[in-house]
Amino acid sequence: MSAKGGSARGGKRTKIVATIGPASEGNKILSEMVKEGMNVARLNFSHGDFSWHKKVIGRIKNISRRSKNPIGLMADLQGPRIRISNSKDLAIAKGEAVLVMSSRRSKAKPKKKTVFIDNPEIEKLLRVGNDVLIEDGLIKLRVISKNHSGSLCRVINGGTVRPRKGVNVPGISAKIGALTVADREVLEFVLPLGVDFVAMSFVRNVREIEALRKLMKKILGRSANLPQIVAKIERREAIKNFANILKASDIIMVARGDLGIEMPQEEVPILQKEIVAKSLRSAKPVIVATQMLDSMIRNPRPTRAEVTDVSNAVIDHADAVMLSGETANGKYPVDSVKTMKKIIERTEESPFDDLEHGFLGDKAFSVSSAIAQTAHELAKDSRAKAIVVASLSGFTARMIARHRPEQKIYVMTNSAGTQNQLSLVWGTESFMLPNCRDLDELIDKSIETLRKNKLLKKGERMIIVTGRPHVKKEHMSLVKVEEME
C-alpha cells in the first residue's frame, strides 16, 4: 500500500497541527494556512490572555465555516510548566554564580544575577546537585548551595535567559501535579467556546487524565460530546505508565522537547517509533511534535535534517505532525505549513510509508477490527477508488484509517463535533449528513454527497462501511460494494 492521492481538499493524508500566535493571528495568514493544509489550530495557553484566545477562536471558526473546511481547535494547557519570569533578557556565562528564586521575591533586589521562576514549588523542591535546565536544556545551571536568599547555582552552559522560556528540573518538575489552578481557569473559559481537543501537559498517570475528564464534565454539565483529551508524553513517568495512559486518553502526542530532557535524548527517536506504533495498533490518533521545522522560525527554508525528520514521522505512520514556534512567532508561518505539506505528500507517494502486513496484530478489537480488515481487503481486491464510512462517534473512521489504505476515506457524520475531531485522523475527509431513517437512506445520501462534490466518477467503485443510523456506540455492521452511477 502506498498512500497516494489524498483528499480532494489536499493531496496529503497525514494531518498538520499548527500553533497560532502573533505571527499567524490575522485573518489573511490564518486563511492562507488553512489553504496550504493546516487541519488543526493549536492554542497554547502558556501564552496570550483570554481575550486574545477568544478573538482567534472566533476567526478560525469563521474561516472554517466560510471555506467549508472543518478545522479542529486544540486548547493546550500549560500544566505544571515552570517558566522564567525575568522581565528582561539576562546574559550569563559559563562558571558564573547566579541565584535562582521565586518571582514572588523579585522585590528583594538581590546583589547577584538572578533567574526568577514563576513557580514557588520548584524553589522549595530544589536540592544541592540538581540541574536547572532552561529553554529545552540550552542553558544549564547546577545548584551548589541553598539559603534564605534562594538557590545559588553555577552556570554549566551559559547563554541569554529570556522571559517566559521553559524551565525543567529532571526528577523534580514531575512532582508537581499535571492539572493546576491556572489550567482549571483556562478550562472554565475555553470549554464553552467549543474547542475540539484539550491537550494535557506533563501527564504522568491515568488518574490525571480521569481528573481532567471529570472536570470537563462538571464545567460543561454533560458527559457526552466532550472535547477529546490529548495526552502529551513528555515525562519519564508517562513512558513507564504508557499502556494505561493510551487506554484512558483519546489522542497521544509525542512531545519531544521535554521528553528529550527527562529521558536520554538518544532514546527519543526510538520512543517516538514505539509510541506511534502502539497508538496505531490501538486506533488512537498520534501526533509527533516539537522542532520539526524549527529553523523556519528564522529562515525561509528548513534544514535537510528537519525535512528528514518530518518525512520519518510520516514513515512511522503518525496521524499528524505539528508546528510550534514556526507558525506561532516565526517569520514564515504560511511557508512552514506549505513546506510541511510538500514533505508529507512526497513521502506518501513513496513506498516507504507502506504498512507492513500483520503490523496491526488486530487482537484487541474483535468484530470491529475484523470488519475494518474486510473493508480494507475488499477495497484492494475490487479496485475501489474510495472507502465511504458512516460514523457518528468517529470510531469506525479510526478503525478504517489505522489500516492506512491507499483509497481515499470519506466520512459521513451528523455530528459537527465528530467532523472537527476527524481533523486529526489520518487520511479522512468528512462531510455532514442529516439524520437518516434507515441504511438505504444513509447510503443514498452518502453517494449523493460524493456526486455533488465530484469526488468519484461514473463507474468507479466504493466500499461503504456503516452501522445502524441510530446506534451511538462503537458498532459496525455493514460492508458493501457500490458503483457510482
232, 256, 341, 408: which one is catalytic? 232
Tell me whether residue 127 is one of the annotated catalytic residues: no
Is residue 235 a contact partner of residue 262, using CB atoms and an 8 Å limit? yes
Tell me whether residue 9 is one of the annotated catalytic residues: no
Strand-pairing partners, residue 378, are none
Is residue 360 a contact partner of residue 281, using CB atoms and an 8 Å limit? yes
Tell me whether residue 35 is one of the annotated catalytic residues: no
290, 413, 428, 466: which one is catalytic? 290
Cα–Cα distance measured from residue 485 to residue 460, given in angstroms and rounded to the nearest whole number: 8
466 CA to centre of own chain: 27
13, 15, 83, 402: which one is catalytic? 83
Strand-pairing partners, residue 200, are 231
Cα–Cα distance measured from residue 452 to residue 387, given in angstroms and rounded to the nearest whole number: 17
Nearest to 428 by CA among 132, 108, 31, 15: 15
Name the residue with cell 503518525: 318
Is residue 284 a contact partner of residue 366, using CB atoms and an 8 Å limit? no
HSE of 192 in the Cβ direction (CA atoms, 13 Å)?
9
Is residue 232 a contact partner of residue 200, using CB atoms and an 8 Å limit? yes
Tell me whether residue 468 is one of the annotated catalytic residues: no
Query: Three cell numbers at 114?
Result: 538572578
Catalytic residue positions, numbered: 42, 83, 232, 290
